Structure 1
Amino acid sequence: FSANGFMVDTTMSADVNAGKKANDSIGINSWSLEENSISEDDMQTFEFSFHIFNSDDWSDGFDTETIIIQL
């Protein structure tokens, strides 16, 4: 996960049953933003991807393409 081109630490984990949907959020660690001199008001670009897998046996894993969000 990068914010304004700087790698930052995030947290996210969502369990979704087959055929179902979920809404969740990505938590951006404030200390990671501070280390890169990024304030909440300065955030302009986010880049990330998801690693998706079967949590029962860690199989069927794949990574999405890079997702870019520009505010």
Structure 2
Amino acid sequence: MRGDSRYFQAAPPVQDTPVSSYHATNALMGCLAISFPIMLTLGIVGYRKYRTVTLLRQIEKLEKLWKMDSQKQVP
């Protein structure tokens, strides 16, 4: 009998290859290229909603002021 048959290896060991910095940079740039337009769009939409709400509050405040002035003038 052969003594080395007990140490049979089914597959060769897998060697991990490190990801180069070039590939990591490409992945980062890809994420930035996708996320920047999304964040910019969300920022613009959010600012427009903020301005709309602010304008509506100002209009409401002016209408209340106008009603108060018109009621004071009519005796």
TM-score for the superposition, normalised by structure 2 = 0.20
Q: Which has the higher contact order (CA 8 A, sep 6+)?
A: 1
Bigger helix fraction:
2
Structure showing the higher strand proportion among its residues: 1
Q: TM-score, normalised by structure 1?
A: 0.21
